[in-house]
Amino acid sequence: MSSILDSTTAAAAPTNTTPAVGATPALNAGDFLQILVAEFQNQDPTSPTDPTQYASQMVEFSNLGQLQSINTDLQSNQNPQNTLMQAASAFIGKEVVAPGSTVGVQNDKATAISYAPTSTDAYTAQVYNSAGVQVDSVSLGNLTSGALQTFNWKPPSSTADGQYQVNIVNSKNVALGGLLEQGVVQSVDLTTSGGVALNLGNLVIPAGNVGSVAQPTT
């Protein structure tokens, strides 16, 4: 079957509009339906077109329409950053997970670390400040291999707001890899490079690093 942008376009397109020289006329839903009808009427009756091809064209046109809508929204906004910020604000109040081993502490509350033990063993969480000094050690007990766990640190009352490094070690003091940072997004910011940064409470992660988004558990 010929493309929807072949000679049938000229036969079906409205004739009362003359586009400017060098301009590319945009198809709307009405134009597309006219073209589709023209294709159907002008097909070879001895070799009719597979109806699924028409359905495929309609899906492609629908996808094109969505892209055009997004582009129109961006062009109509004098500051495209506003549109990006509005989209990023949907993260606020959501629980996100991203690779990393840092927790943020704010007002005596800390973000969490998720991890999966590689062997059944006794594990400990070691917490270090920005100077590399260990500030806490929390026994996690005997854990089963492969079972996803979450370390919710309760900072001592003297703990200052800021970021802290977490190591999850087994009974031989061997640290686990593949830790995940987890927390609820408090605010969002635009970076100088045009990206989005998510603030979980003194822990900022790029939106592009997020592996999952969910409603926070109570």
Query: What one-character-per-residue DSSP string does 125-143 give?
Result: EEEE-TTS-EEEEEEEEEE
- Average pLDDT rounded to a whole number, residues 202-212: 90
pLDDT of residue 192: 81
Q: Which CATH number fits domain 89-214: 3.10.20.30, 3.30.70.1560, 2.60.40.10, 2.60.40.4070?
A: 2.60.40.4070
Q: Is 9 helix (H, G, I), strand (E, B) or coil?
A: helix
pLDDT of residue 2: 43
pLDDT of residue 64: 45
pLDDT of residue 78: 52
Which residue in 182, 198, 165, 163 sits closest to 97, CA to CA?
Answer: 182
- Average pLDDT rounded to a whole number, residues 132-150: 96
pLDDT at 9 over 50: no
pLDDT greater at residue 140 or residue 14:
140
* 171 within 8 A of 154, measured Cβ to Cβ: no
pLDDT at 56 over 60: no
Phi-psi region of 97 (alpha: psi -120 to 50; beta: other; left: phi over 0): beta
List every span in the chain annotated with CATH 2.60.40.4070: 89-214
Instruction: State pLDDT tens for residues 166-179.
Output: 999 999 999 999 99
Which residue in 74, 96, 71 sits closest to 84, CA to CA?
Answer: 74
Q: How far apart are CA 163 and CA 100, in angstroms?
A: 12
pLDDT of residue 208: 86
Query: Best-predicted range by mean pLDDT among 32-46, 122-136, 182-196, 203-217?
Result: 122-136
Name 112's Cβ contacts closer than 8 Å, sequence gap at least 6: 103, 150, 151, 152, 153, 181, 182, 183
